[in-house]
Amino acid sequence: MARQAMQPLARLRRRLTAWYAATFGLILLLLGGGLYVAIHRQFERQLTDSLAEATQELAGAARIRERELKTAQGDVVDAVDELHIPDRILYLLDSAGAPVRPDSATHWIRSAARHAAQDGTFDDQRDIGQDHTLWLHAQAFRLASGQLLVAAAVADEVELADRFAALIAAFGGAAVAAVVLVLAGGYFLVQKSTAPVERSIVYTRRFMADAAHELRTPVSVLRTRADVALQAARSPDEYAAVVRGMGHEARRLGRVVDDLLMLARADAGERPVARTRFFLDDVVIDAAVSVRTLAQAAGVTLEVEEFEETAVFGDAALVRELVVILLDNAVKFTPSGGAVRVRVTPRPQPTVTVEDTGPGIPAEHLPHVFERFYRGDQSRSRNGGAGLGLSIAQWIAAEHGTRVDIASQPGQGVRATVVFPRPVPPLDG
């Protein structure tokens, strides 16, 4: 049943992990697309600039060659043969587009030369098939003799594609590794983030099961008593005994319902907590008076020891409930002839201490005494409590910035201590 109950949470974890991976993958895709466009433009700019530099070098070499030789054009064109730029094809053409060096050029190159002769520079691209695209840059220049020539440089875009392939491969590998890490890290984070939800689900289911069990018992007793009483005619005294028994179970049922309601409101934050200054000793005396009748009926002496005027800040009604719970527990688990002692001290901080002479709590049960419906061994559950009192007491203490500390040694009784913060706000009125 528990495994089936966790299946929706497992599906939620898988979905959240998938959303993490999908979101991160989309971010990587958008980032990769943006980088691709930016780097593609950068590579194109670099390729165009390198072609422009090649034509400038070719024009400069031709001018230098002309000055060195001071001869006719036939010797100037030797600059093309002498100048070598890796992965670049160089052309020298006249203003009409006729090739000077090398001896031949395609119609596309000659047309580009004519455009450059008219406009000064010209850029063009030509797809030659098999995923090859040629880039061209042509630049017109004049020799010292006044002759107009055109320098052209051509490169294959495969250089750009090679750079892209390496970049895409590197980015793709990094992206795959990142997605894998996101899947692993996302699943880990999802487990961590849903762990409180899982604990809450388990806790809620256990709480509901325990509550149903606690409510079923008095309801069953009430139903059984009623059925038995109606099976045959009885005397008034017998009916009175049945009604008294039913009243006892009804009161027990009412206490469980009241406790459950208080805890439910506390969990939902619907139980308002007053913040006023009051005297802790007065509240404890009032609680002790209420529990004294129960103590007398159980043959337990309730002793009020050290008492001093002690001001605290908080909800007086809730603090009274806390003290009643501690005194009530102490009386319930103290054998007849034993004693329960309570004292209030203001120094060093406002403190309430409740001690009993009962059998104590085994060490293995101490960490669990504040759990709801926990009643330890059978000897401590004989009094019929639902195991909610200390849970309520701990919640009240937490609302007042403190906690209930329980100390016990088997056979030496139990000591419960609550240390309140010193009051800060001034006395009302």
User: Are 296 and 154 in a shared domain?
Assistant: no
Q: Per-residue confidence at 382, pLDDT binned at 50, 70, 90?
A: very low
Tallying the residues shown for the chain, one arrives at: 429
The answer to whether residue 337 is domain-embedded is yes
Residue 200's pLDDT is 66
The answer to whether residue 222 is domain-embedded is no
Give the pLDDT confidence of 169-200 residue by residue, as tens digits.
777 777 777 777 777 777 777 777 777 766 66
Give the pLDDT confidence of 322-360 residue by residue, as tens digits.
898 899 889 988 999 999 999 998 888 899 999 999 888
Residue 207's pLDDT is 62
Of 19, 39, 40, 31, nearest in space to 175 by CA: 31
Place of tokens 């780097």: 39
CB atoms within 10 A of CB 313: 18
Q: Which domain holds residue 8?
A: 2-165
Residue 159's pLDDT is 59
Question: pLDDT: is 96 or 265 the higher one?
Answer: 96
Q: Is the model's pLDDT at 385 over the cut of 70?
A: no
Distance of alpha carbon 376 from the chain centroid: 36
The answer to whether residue 352 is domain-embedded is yes
**Top-confidence range, 38-52, 208-222, 294-308, 375-389:** 294-308
Question: pLDDT: is 312 or 80 the higher one?
Answer: 312
Query: Hey, is 227 helix, strand or coil?
Result: helix
Question: pLDDT: is 268 or 122 the higher one?
Answer: 122
Distances from the Cα of 422 to the Cα of 96, 278, 418, 426, angstroms: 102, 12, 13, 12
> Using CA atoms, how far apart are residues 69 and 76, in angstroms rounded to an integer?
8
Structure tokens at 426: 């001034």
How does the average pLDDT of the chain come out, rounded? 78
Last residue of a domain, one of 165, 198, 219: 165
What H or E segment, with its residue span, contains residue 315? none
Count the domains in the chain: 2
Looking only at the bridges linking them, the beta strands covering 132-142 and 121-129 are antiparallel
Q: Per-residue confidence at 228, pLDDT binned at 50, 70, 90?
A: confident
Instruction: Render 202-234 in DSSP notation, one character per residue.
Output: HHHHHHHHHHHHHHHHHHHHHHHHHHHHHSS--
Q: Per-residue confidence at 378, pLDDT binned at 50, 70, 90?
A: very low
Question: Could you tell me what percentage of the chain is helix, strand and coil, using 3-state DSSP and rounding each to the nearest 5?
Answer: 60, 20, 25
| 259-272 average pLDDT score | 68
The answer to whether residue 25 is domain-embedded is yes
Residue 373's pLDDT is 66
Q: Is the model's pLDDT at 108 over the cut of 70?
A: yes
User: Are 403 and 284 in a shared domain?
Assistant: yes
Residue 418's pLDDT is 92
The answer to whether residue 292 is domain-embedded is yes
Residue 386's pLDDT is 55
| 282-288 average pLDDT score | 90
Instruction: Decide: 285 and 304 in contact? Cβ < 8 Å.
Output: yes
Percent of the chain at pLDDT > 90 equals 7
Residue 206's pLDDT is 63
**Top-confidence range, 25-39, 76-90, 180-194, 315-329:** 315-329
Last residue of a domain, one of 165, 184, 200: 165
The answer to whether residue 250 is domain-embedded is no
Give the pLDDT confidence of 395-406 residue by residue, as tens digits.
888 888 888 898
Last residue of a domain, one of 108, 135, 165: 165
The answer for residues whose C-beta is within 8 angstroms of residue 357's C-beta and 6 or more apart is 334, 338, 339, 340, 413
The answer to whether residue 214 is domain-embedded is no
**Top-confidence range, 89-93, 129-133, 232-236, 240-244:** 89-93
Residue 356's pLDDT is 92
Instruction: Render 91-114 in DSSP notation, one character per residue.
Output: EEEETTS-EEESS---HHHHHHHH
CATH code of 378's domain: 3.30.565.10
CATH code of 38's domain: 3.30.450.20
User: Are 150 and 295 in a shared domain?
Assistant: no
